Chain A
Amino acid sequence: MSFSFADVDSVRKGLSGVQYLADEGIAGVVYLAERLQKPVLVEGPAGTGKTQLAKSVAEATGARLIRLQCYEGLDESKALYEWNYKKQLLRIQAERQGEDPEGEGMWQQIEDDLFSEEFLLTRPLLEAIRAAEPVVLLIDEVDRVEIETEALLLEILSDYQVSIPELGTVAASQIPLVFLTSNNTRELSEALKRRCLFLHIDYPDLDREKEIVLAKVPGVGESLADQVARIVRSVRQIELKKAPSVSETLDWARTLVLLGVEHIDADTAAETVNILLKYRSDIEKALKEFASSDEEFAVPAATP
């Protein structure tokens, strides 16, 4: 069995080659996932690059990305497979036309035909299993499905196979690299967690965020990236309804580049903060917070 990554370091290099800056933890878990052939459950605040990780791994390894977006009400026929019953009907219809005297044996044959691969519609999970080429399977926002639907995933996650009653078991020809993402809106079942490696992606630290800005935003200068990263870190320390995500940081940096800003002062920050923060109350709070030290210094100046 050949692996795409020789060691943890090569994971990091491979990912940074496709503009994804992984820290020690992320790279290590991706490496282990491939070695142990286990799915990775990625958790963390919104907008920290959970989905992007799967995409980048696919890009770095040259594998095909198959994505299953989860939502409330997702079922077997959307996730695993479905019988193409319209085609099945047509098949029966076609058989009727060429009426045959030996009806009994014929029916047997039709029945066998009807539940063959020809009439099977593969959905993402089955597709990932059956693919001949290397595949990265992304099961996005798995916390959105009901806890009962989670059970659908268990067979594929632990044994990399899908059982279809009419056909038998379809086993994987190659082991896909599986990423599940969760925003932790609810606790996932123990059974699911047990089968996965767990990775928590938090907001990046100052240096990594700066590097991300430098890598992702064309035309951004070293000092601007540094300022952006530092301001964002300070903003995250305030207790907000929704802290700025990495993608919002990038949007903000892009805006500043477009505006031709070299040095962020309080006015620029105040004017563009609506890109970083999406709630009115958060914006007000942040502005108040950054102005507050102003008062401290304004007061002694005002009193003669």
Chain B
Amino acid sequence: MKVEPATSPLLALLAGFISELRAAGLPVSLTENLDAMEAIQHIPIEDRDAFKYALAATLVKNHAHWRAFETVFEVYFSLRGAEYDLVDGEWPEGMDLSDFVDGMDGQQRRQGGGGGEAMSAEQLAEMLFQALMRGDDALMRAIARQAVQRYAGMEPGRPVGGTYYLYRTLRNLDLDGVLDRLMDQARHDAPGDLTPLEERLERDEFEARIDQLRKEVEAEIRRRLVADRGVEAMAKTLRKPLPEDVDFMHASREEMMALRRAIYPLTRKLAVRLARKRRHGRKGPLDFRNTMRHSLSYGGVPAEPKFRYPRPAKPEIMVVADVSGSVAAFARFTLHLVYAISNQFSKVRSFVFIDGLDEVTSFFEGVDDIGEAVHRVNAEADVVWVDGHSDYGHAFEVFWERYGKDVGPKTTVMILGDARNNYHASQAWILKEIEHRARKVFWLNPEPGAYWDTGDSIVSEYGVHCDGVFEVRNLRQLEGFVENLV
């Protein structure tokens, strides 16, 4: 395959692209880097989609990383796409950065001055409505561009993030209002009344189109920001943690969804690991009777020792989770984790506490819908004793009193919480007792290690009685914990 000289700036750009991917946390190996270089030789460079998929196929080996990849791709290759060969000729291709910004300014000025070709806000809204009604992609793109120009109020060099501009633009477009209007129109157009099913379908269709518009607006803003600030700076601003690095305590709704999906493979892994240990475990103790019987064929010499089959202990797991306000986000996640664990193991008992403690095992049993289980835990579990501020000491007391006898040598106890005890008595002796009885005691703490033992956190006081205290703030750390568990 010959390398044309013209491709070498592209290779340089690609090198920058890949190092940005690495900076964003994607594990791109050298082989994959070379594969990508080779792959793009086979792809016609002007086909942006094919180019994108070629890079994705060689560089991104985990679907969870797709979004991170897409963001970086949009930043690095946004100005080169065929759809941005500008129709209106305002920003000709190949103009350098300062020209671009000037051009943008000039256009804004002209519009600000109320030039003849500028549309009024009502006209734009009407066009938007029409475009959405018909699902006209080209028109939607043009409107997105117009809207950003008009409403975002972007100024070169202004240190504001893209979300600010996005918010400003979308607020002015009033997409909720547009959706209502679209629905009214659809009802009006329909021959009879819309059945609920049809209504729902129409709504989903319009929502999909509006979503499309929102993406166009986002892309437009990003494109302009890149032109203003340069590729590297922009990529850095947009850098977001990968799903496995998202902090449980600060996960957004969307991120939470992704996390939940990721838990299942993890618990399966946990189960597989435990199972494998059983299968490959060493043989059981000498079976004396069987050995003697076989020794008869050697004239009474026990030449062939026989062993008992190992009787693997089924792991029993007790999960004790703090669900107080300080760890609310983490608690939500823990409940999902508990649910996933109890699907994989037969003997799981789960407890939640704030300053009182309650068993919630039954809420998770035979429940298909995790949302419902979590809701029931939140609504029905009796976890408040006095004031609803965490009191680990009292929670442990209750645990010991009611369930202490159930902790046996096969039990693994997992405590999930930040050990912020609000200066109550720690009652660490209970944990010591539990440790004596249980097989293992683990403490998973959602707080960064640097905050431990500051203020009212008393992790170490409890930690000395555990087999391990782990900082588990994200999926990666949780995975690390699972790996080391067995």
Contact = CB atoms under 8 A, between A and B. Distances in A.
B35 A185 contact: no
Given A186-B268, A200-B63, A281-B368, A293 B54 contact: no
Interface in B26-84: 27, 29, 31-32, 35, 38-39, 42-44, 47, 49-50, 53-54, 56-58, 60-63, 66
Given A32-B57, A198-B57, A266-B197, A38 B35 contact: yes
A8 B54 CA distance: 11
B60 A198 contact: yes
Most buried by A among B27, B44, B62: B62
Given A28-B43, A31-B42, A194-B61, A36 B35 contact: yes
Contacts of A184: 63, 265
Contact of A24 (B49, B196, B208): B49
Interface in A56-87: none
B239 interface: no
A266 B196 CA distance: 8
B38 A241 contact: no
Contact of B204 (A28, A190, A234): A234
A24 B53 contact: yes
B200 A234 contact: yes
Interface in B299-351: none
Nearest to A7: B44
Given A265-B195, A290-B197, A36 B42 contact: yes
Interface string A259-288: 000001110010000000001010001000
Interface in A195-254: 196-200, 206, 227, 230-231, 233-234, 237, 239, 241
Interface residues of B, number: 42
Contacts of B47: 8
B184 interface: no
Contacts of A31: 42
A212 B47 CA distance: 25
B43 to A, nearest CB: 7
B201 A234 contact: yes
Contacts of B208: 206, 233
B176 to A, nearest CB: 16
Pairs of residues from A and B, 5 with the lowest C-beta to C-beta distance, nearest first: A294-B196, A193-B61, A28-B53, A281-B368, A197-B57
16 contacts: A25-B53, A25-B56, A28-B57, A29-B53, A32-B54, A36-B38, A44-B63, A186-B269, A194-B29, A200-B63, A227-B201, A230-B205, A234-B200, A241-B369, A264-B197, A279-B368
